[in-house]
Structures are given as C-alpha cells and as structure tokens.
Amino acid sequence: MKIVLPLALLLSVFTVSCIQEEVTGPVDFPLGTFNFDFARLGSDEASQIKELESIGYGGLVMNLTNPKELKTLQKYQAAVGDGAFNIYAAYVVVDFAKDLAVQDAYLDKVIQSLKQSESKLWVILRVRDGKTVEHEQIVNFLRSTAKRAKAGGTELVIYPHYSGNNPNNICLIESAEDAIPFVEEIGSDNLFISLHLCHEIKAGNGDRLDEVAAKIKPWLRLPSINGSDIDAVNEVQGWDRGIQPLTQGNYDASKLLSALNSVGYEGPVILHTWGLQDEAADHHHTSYDRFQEMLKEQ
C-alpha cells in the first residue's frame, strides 16, 4: 500500500534538512606558532616541541630564508616523527634585487625538504636597494614556483607583508587583497594566500576582515593571529603595537576568528610572535589560553 504524504509536510521536511546541512558551528581551529623565540621553551628542538605539545599547540612554522636553517627543519622533523604535531609551513624571503636563478635553486631544495613533513612553502616577496620590479616579473616567478612546488608535493602560499617606511626595502605584496590579481592571472591550483592579522591591520583592514576573507576564500591558507593595538595602523616602523601576545592590546583579535568562520575555513591558525623575545617567559602559554577563550566566545 502506498503512503502519500501531504505536500506541505514534504516541503517542511526538505526545508529543515537543508537548514541542518547549511548551518555549521564555529571551528575549534588548531593553533600553531612561529618559532621566533623557542629558546625559552627548551634547550633543543625535541624539548621545544614536547613543551609546545604539553601546552596544546598543534604545530609550528619557521623561517628558512637562511640555508643554515634547513638543519633546524631536519631536527624538527626528526623530533616530530610520525606524531600528531605538525610543521605547518616555512617561509623564505625572496629578494628581486638579487639573482632569482640562485634563489629558485634554493627554493627547490626547500621544497624537497618540506615534502617530508607535508609542510607548505610561504614566500615573502621583497625588493631592496630601490630597484624596480615589473608586474610580469612577479607573475613569472609565482607561476614557475607554484609549478615546481606542485611537482614536489608542496603547496605554495603567498605571505603578504607590510613594508614600513623604508624605500630601500619594499614588500611587493603587502596585504591579502594585493595578492588576488596575481593568483587570478596565474590560475594555478597550487597557489594560495595567507591572511595575517598584523599585516592586515597595518594595511588598514582591521575592521573589514570578513570582507577580505570572503575575497580570498578560494585560496585561504595559514592565517595568523596576535595581540595588537587599534592604532597599530599608524605605527609606520616596527611592531611594538602591531604584534603583541594575545592577552595584550586593545584591538579585538577575535575578529580574525569570526572572519575565518564566516568563510568556512577549517585549517590551523598560527600565533605570530615576532619581536616578543622580551615578553613574559610564559607568553606562549597565556596566548594559547586566550586563544581557547576566543574559540569559546565565537
């Protein structure tokens, strides 16, 4: 015997099911951290990672601009082994005033090294000494590097970075929105963009993070968070007000988490710790605790 449900009931069931599929709660983002001041956490790489894990961190990111740091990466990788702790990414500063062929060769070594830990490659694009860089030079570099990184099993992520007021040391991509024309023109499936709170505040985007996140949603990777003052936008040089522990600063850093939730981002968030060497010895602990509070407040 057939059972025929009233049309109104069928529509109501369909509507409820659609709503249930669309509505998702805030994400408990894993928190990683930059390795700028890990000496306070332990005497070697293994003890540092052990301490980070005990606090609750899910991973780290690091600077590989100096080839000597490849040995540090290897030590991190050995300490992590097959564990759950992640080496999320490493960044390399590329200077367009220097020989790009030499830097490309080094990036190829970095890509191979990062593959072992399934880490992403960040690039900060600079030009020093007042030299001029054409748009097409940046496009060619990013296109080539994205292709080589893909072949090496590594995602390439643009790291937007504020320049400051030094005309002899200019960052070529200063904010997430600055990166959009390049990823659109190149059209690679292996080229992404980071959303760094400190650099977005300096770019004047502290109150429009939702809009910025929406624009870069298809390419969003490795956002970073930190404490900051509202007037850091006026801090022309340095990061005293622009990068602080999460427990400090009068800017509401949870706006970043709201923006990430608004676009359905589910990856890790990275704690930015540049220049915090003189902060309290436990700032990794207190910032982690504040991050957990922010997650609950979402």
């509505």: which residue's tokens? 23
Domain assignment present for residue 80? The answer is yes
d(CA 288, CA 270): 11
CA 87 to chain centroid, in Å, comes to 12
Domain assignment present for residue 3? The answer is no
Domain assignment present for residue 179? The answer is yes
Domain assignment present for residue 226? The answer is yes
Domain assignment present for residue 13? The answer is no
Domain assignment present for residue 266? The answer is yes
Domain assignment present for residue 248? The answer is yes
Domain assignment present for residue 15? The answer is no
Q: What is the reported pLDDT for 292?
A: 98
d(CA 220, CA 129): 31
With a pLDDT cut of 90, the percent of the chain lying above it is 88
Residue 193, beta-bridge partner list: 158, 220
Per residue in 11-70, pLDDT tens? 444 443 443 344 457 889 999 999 999 999 999 999 999 999 999 999 999 999 999 999
Q: What is the pTM of this model?
A: 0.91
CATH of the domain at 35: 3.20.20.150
Range of the domain at 247: 27-297
Q: Please count the structural domains in the chain.
A: 1
Per residue in 159-218, pLDDT tens? 999 998 888 899 999 999 999 999 999 999 999 999 999 999 999 999 999 999 999 999
